[in-house]
Amino acid sequence: MHRRRDKSEVSVRMLTVCCCYRDGLTQLFEFSDFDFDSARPGSSFSFSGVESPDPTPPSRQQSFRQPQSPGAEEAASRPQSRSRSQPQSQSSSGSEARAHPARVQAAIPAKKAQATKCDPKVCVLPDCYCGGKDIPGGFAPETVPQIVLLTFDDAVNDLNKGLYRDLFEVGRTNPNGCPIASTMYVSHEWTDYSQVQNLYADGHEIASHSVSHSFGEQFSIKKWAKEIAGQREIMAAYGGVKMEDVRGMRAPFLAIGGNKMFKMLYDYNFTYDSSMPVYENKPPSWPYTLDYKIFHDCMIPPCPTNSYPGVWQVPMVMWQDLTGGRCSMGDACTTPPDAEGVYKMLIKNFERHYTSNRAPFGLFYHAAWFTTPHHKEGFIAFLDTITAMDDVWLVTNWQLLQWMRDPQPLSTVKNFPAFGCNYPDRKRCTSTKVCNVWHKGGVRYMRTCQQCPEKYPWTGNTGVNSPLNDL
């Protein structure tokens, strides 16, 4: 049976707090008296004064569009997309269900049209899902894996290197023997890209959290592209991450940009966003596509109102603290004063998912929260509890979406290729370069295993020849 620690109740005072986490970012930068960043000309980029054999950005799989500027998209016709796929069986065979979701034809809703209420009879997997409480594939709750999503926002550098080592390099595994994995929403400033490359090589998902980490509520489409697609280029160029593997984003401060942001995601061929809190949590919601109108209340407006076929939303289902308060990120809750309280709060929220419809349980954090010793102690105790369970899987957001497109019961999920851990083409960084580059009136020391840039990469100047630089 499943090994559990004692779950006796304790009385801990907790308060409702804002969804947007700010103090952790402030704390992170208070510790950041030094500069980390980096640069690399990948095989298909050209840097200032250094020309690569092919200046075209890495393309996605043949059936998907290459990223392009919004201006170019409006002037030229969209390449033909595949028609909406038929529902897949629950077998793990067939690579199509695990491929990057295609941009579907406009037979159901037309792109840019006002989104309408989702009809589950029409919106079917693998390319469309209404979300809500219903389990994909129609399985009974006890027959599907409980997926847990551990994510971290903001810069990757020496301040969180030790934390990631303690979480991921001590032998914690999923039921198939693969190491547990997380999604890193990486922002540019202060990031050490040699460490990003090693996290990527270890099987973690690298996603975009913007270049400048600014509030984006009022951003134009072009500004969103420079921030989110620009960070994708920076991570590909300097962190050794394939562009086609940067599939998702999270908006800084969860300050989404409504239709402008989601149009950018569609135009630049991103697979998903994970920035929208969902208040309803009894039972919690599964991920859904933005073909249709969102089914939940908009917690942090502006939310999308148009249709964006094939773009997924991985919702941030809100937690409840020990007194009933709500929060969208684990570190935005008022935290109990000791490790036991932290553990009990985590167990309480986990069980809301595990004992109901087993919708993915999100552990959404900033690394700065773990600098308080009892936070880390309570969290690791919880992590050890759930990784000892034979029906719990800690996977990346991209692995979750592959499961959504081809749902697997517990009886077959151990052999599900998308939950594997063989990444022979992801090379570790073994010889870090320190690049001295100018930025904001001073010198930055960027770390990378790739070629150094001439200038510090920033919005509108990612260090590679790209249409984004001309927006």
Domain containing residue 235: CATH number: 3.20.20.370
Average pLDDT over residues 275-293: 97
Average pLDDT over residues 299-317: 98
pLDDT above 60: residue 8: no
CA 10 – CA 322 distance, rounded (Å) = 9
pLDDT of residue 440: 87
* Helix, strand, or coil (residue 167): helix
pLDDT of residue 7: 37
Average pLDDT over residues 404-420: 98
pLDDT of residue 219: 98
pLDDT of residue 109: 53
Whether 91 is covered by a domain: the verdict is no
Average pLDDT over residues 440-462: 94
Tell me the percentage of the chain whose pLDDT exceeds 90.
72
Q: Which residues contact 165 (CB under 8 A, 6 or more apart)?
A: none
Whether 205 is covered by a domain: the verdict is yes
Whether 382 is covered by a domain: the verdict is yes
Q: Which residues contact 166 (CB under 8 A, 6 or more apart)?
A: 376, 380
pLDDT digits (tens, 9 = 90+) for 249-262: 999 999 999 999 99
pLDDT of residue 324: 84
The dihedrals phi and psi of 266, each to the nearest 5 degrees, come to -65, -50
Are 433 and 38 in contact by the 8 Å Cβ rule? The answer is yes
Whether 339 is covered by a domain: the verdict is yes
* Helix, strand, or coil (residue 9): coil
pLDDT digits (tens, 9 = 90+) for 178-227: 999 999 999 999 999 999 999 999 999 999 999 999 999 999 999 999 99
pLDDT of residue 137: 96
Whether 6 is covered by a domain: the verdict is no
pTM for this predicted structure: 0.80
Average pLDDT over residues 451-470: 91
CA 154 – CA 211 distance, rounded (Å) = 10
Whether 44 is covered by a domain: the verdict is no
**Range of the structural domain that residue 253 is part of:** 23-30+99-419
Give the torsion sign (CA, 324, 327, 333, 336).
positive
pLDDT digits (tens, 9 = 90+) for 29-42: 333 333 333 333 33
Q: Could you give the number of structural domains in the chain?
A: 1
* Helix, strand, or coil (residue 148): strand
* Helix, strand, or coil (residue 57): coil
pLDDT of residue 226: 98
What are the distances in angstroms from CA 168 to CA 23, 195, 202, 286? 25, 14, 9, 26
| Average predicted confidence (pLDDT) for the chain | 83
Whether 442 is covered by a domain: the verdict is no
Are 286 and 134 in contact by the 8 Å Cβ rule? The answer is yes
pLDDT digits (tens, 9 = 90+) for 342-393: 999 999 999 999 999 999 999 999 999 999 999 999 999 999 999 999 999 9
pLDDT above 80: residue 53: no
**Paired tokens of 314:** 């991985």
pLDDT of residue 102: 46
Whether 457 is covered by a domain: the verdict is no
pLDDT of residue 71: 41
* Cβ burial 40-52 (10 Å sphere, 16+ → b, else e): bbbebbbbeeeeb
